[in-house]
């Protein structure tokens, strides 16, 4: 028996063309090389695969049986090569991205739209979750990349910094008297605070900031989405902690205004997270280039 694929390839073209000479031309080999390859294959099986004819060669009964299998293998290999070319050229395939609802809606949406327009054959799969959840499914191989808030400290992951965001407190017209005031943390906590209910980076960061000043930040209202943070603030249910870039429209139209504090709120950064030392698919590589 032989595991030499080249011998089977010679056999396939000799059988398909019915000519050792034609097989040699197709494979850019000499005819003696083709004859030798066929002989090696016959010797490995201990049977004759071809017999000579006036026009070239023809398959024996045993050779025809072998050819029926090799032909299927050749078709599958050709299909595999075509598939690899399509994946390389981004004609087909998939791109799996993890991130939060707010980052998908307010940051990634234009890039996803452009990517889809340029590469319509690539299927997009979006997985929603907090940063810890996205880290977990990335390690499980369920996504190609994650778009998350930094910092990320994990030796298994590589993070490319993307954009900087500025978080802030916002309120609606019900709290209009606070517009021109620089509030202390004490003064802010006199009012109901609305925070994202899940274990997000933004929530952890603002909680840690208040702790550094000796305050415990305990929200009176917790909600499950950024859209609800915005809507609750607009309706006067409290003061919401949101990302300024995500409420640009509301700030410009005046349905929300920013609450100014007498302490500086540090900026946050968005990073594109992938597995370290793992090759990226062509689609993931192209998307990262687009976003950066």
State whether 196 and 67 are in the same domain. no
Contacts for 56 with CB less than 8 Å, ≥ 6 apart: 17, 18, 19, 20, 21, 22
State whether 260 and 175 are in the same domain. yes
Q: Which pLDDT score, from 0 to 100, does residue 153 have?
A: 87
pLDDT digits (tens, 9 = 90+) for 181-199: 899 999 999 999 999 876 7
State whether 9 and 140 are in the same domain. no
pLDDT digits (tens, 9 = 90+) for 196-252: 876 777 888 899 999 999 999 999 999 988 899 999 999 999 999 999 999 999 999
The domain containing residue 57 runs over which residues?
Answer: 5-88
User: Taking CA 274 as the corner, what is the angle to CA 268 and CA 279, rounded to the nearest 5 degrees?
Assistant: 155
Contacts for 109 with CB less than 8 Å, ≥ 6 apart: none
Contact between 226 and 196 (Cβ < 8 Å): yes
Into how many domains does the chain fold? 3
Task: Write down which residue in 57, 88, 119 finishes a domain.
Answer: 88
Look up residue 39 and give its two tokens. 């002989």
CATH of the domain at 39: 1.10.10.10
Confidence of residue 89 (pLDDT cuts 50, 70, 90): confident
Angle in degrees, 0-180, between the axes of helices 20-27 and 5-17, rounded to the nearest 10: 130
Contacts for 268 with CB less than 8 Å, ≥ 6 apart: 149, 150, 164, 165, 166, 167, 201, 202, 205, 243
State whether 119 and 73 are in the same domain. no
State whether 174 and 49 are in the same domain. no
Look at residues 59, 99, 41, 119 and name the one whose alpha carbon lies nearest to residue 289: 119
Look up residue 102 and give its two tokens. 């707010």
Whether 93 maps to a domain, the answer reads no
β-strand 268-275 against 145-149: which pairing, if any?
antiparallel
pLDDT digits (tens, 9 = 90+) for 119-168: 999 999 999 988 889 999 999 889 999 999 888 889 999 999 888 999 99
Distance of alpha carbon 158 from alpha carbon 176, whole angstroms: 44
CATH of the domain at 222: 3.40.190.10
SS3 content of the chain, % helix, strand, coil (to 5): 50, 25, 30
């Amino acid at each position: 028996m032989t595991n030499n694929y080249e011998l089977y390839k010679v056999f396939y073209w000799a059988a398909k063309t019915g000519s050792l000479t034609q097989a040699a031309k197709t494979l850019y080999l000499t005819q003696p090389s083709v004859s030798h390859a066929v002989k090696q294959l016959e010797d490995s099986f201990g049977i004759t695969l071809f017999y000579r004819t006036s026009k070239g060669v023809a398959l024996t009964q045993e050779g025809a049986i072998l050819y029926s299998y090799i032909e299927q293998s050749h078709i599958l290999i050709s299909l595999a090569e075509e598939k690899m070319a399509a994946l390389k050229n981004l004609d087909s395939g998939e791109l799996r991205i993890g991130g939060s609802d707010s980052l998908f809606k307010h940051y990634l949406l234009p890039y996803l739209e452009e990517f889809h327009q340029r590469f319509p054959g690539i299927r997009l799969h979006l997985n929603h979750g907090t940063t810890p959840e996205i880290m977990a499914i990335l390690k499980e191989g369920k996504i190609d990349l994650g778009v998350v808030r930094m910092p990320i400290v994990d030796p298994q992951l590589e993070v490319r910094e993307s954009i900087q965001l500025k978080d802030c407190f916002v309120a609606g017209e019900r709290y209009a008297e606070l517009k021109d005031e620089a509030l202390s943390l004490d003064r802010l906590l006199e009012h109901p605070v609305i925070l994202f209910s899940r274990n997000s980076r933004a929530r952890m960061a603002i909680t840690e900031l208040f702790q550094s000043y000796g305050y415990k930040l305990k929200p009176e209202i917790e909600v499950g989405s950024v859209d609800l943070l915005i809507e609750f603030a607009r309706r006067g249910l409290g003061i919401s902690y949101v990302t300024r870039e995500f409420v640009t429209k509301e700030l410009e139209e005046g349905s929300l205004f920013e609450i100014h504090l007498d302490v500086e709120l540090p900026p946050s950064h968005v990073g594109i997270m992938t597995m370290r030392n793992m090759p990226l698919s062509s689609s993931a590589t192209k998307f990262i280039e687009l976003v950066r």
